[in-house]
Amino acid sequence: MSAESSIALVTDSTASLTPEDRERLDISVVNLYVILNGEQRPENEIDDYAAFYKAVLESPQLTTTSQPSIGDFMEVYGPLLDQGKDVISLHLSGGISGTCEAARQAAAQLEADGRGGERITVVDSRTTGGALAFCNLAASNAIKEGKDVAGVVEQVMACRDELDTLILVDTLDYLRKGGRIGGAQAWIGGALKIKPLITLRETVEPVDKVRTSARAMQRLKDFASEKAASGEEITWTAQHIQAPELAAELAAHCREVFQCEGAFLDEMSTVLGCHAGPGLVAIGTVPTAAVGSKF
């Protein structure tokens, strides 16, 4: 971490940050796990996404995921605490994962061991993916501005309250099988021929359902256009799971209406892919004032 700051930032792999993102944000990442054919692997070891999803489809077993262990968090926190840092640990929604709870247990263990665990602040982003990346951007900018722990957390909360997402999933089957379907459960049964549009506010919430992919993509574009019409400067992201052409189409529209480049324009993590399924396309927006800067 940078010598200038007394605060270290930690997140988890569902933020889908590239190595360049991690360096730019000055952030440490704790990995979640994918369990495919009985083998558990940290998701940073999966680099061929197409081959991974092919293996998922061909597997006779349901591919599952697992949160980081308490030990995984302690391995990341320990050296940062030993450097005298305060730690802000920012993670995916506690409504869909036990990751935040594992982080809190690790902090409590480090405190009990006299290793400074009381200097760890765990924050539930109530979201994941690009929106979690936005929260990390807000935290990183606040740290670089010299804010203290309370000030950084306040900036994250402001970002969390202002961000908005709209997510097109190709099918609800993956969310149903993984038990992460939330309020969209009501759509199961009559959902065979629909394209569901959802959002994530602690848990999965249904937004709309349309009959065709073209109409669903238009809804994502309309979402962008409506945000652009607000007059606020907007930071945006367009992400996908095995749908790069659709994400590129959405990003092109966003560049046109927002008149700026997007942030974190990458494929989402494989852990999210296991639960949402291939074919997902998502847009996320947040007022730039809430994150401090675009990049």
Q: Which CATH class is domain 162-291?
A: alpha beta
Give the CATH architecture of domain 7-161.
3-Layer(aba) Sandwich (3.40)
Q: Across the chain, where does the E strand assignment appear?
A: 7-12, 27-30, 33-36, 39-42, 64-66, 86-91, 120-124, 164-168, 195-201, 203-210, 234-241, 280-287
**Measuring CA to CA, which residue among 273, 285, 277 is closest to residue 32?**
273
Domain ranges of the chain: 7-161, 162-291
pLDDT in tens, 135-185: 999 999 999 999 999 999 999 999 999 999 999 988 766 766 655 545 445
pLDDT in tens, 198-233: 898 888 788 888 888 899 999 999 999 999 999 999
For residues 207 and 71, give the distance between their C-alpha atoms in angstroms, rounded to a whole number: 38
* pTM (2 d.p.): 0.92
Task: Give the pLDDT confidence score for residue 204 in this predicted structure.
Answer: 78
Task: Give the pLDDT confidence score for residue 35 in this predicted structure.
Answer: 95
pLDDT in tens, 76-133: 999 999 999 999 999 999 998 999 999 999 999 999 999 999 999 999 999 999 999 9
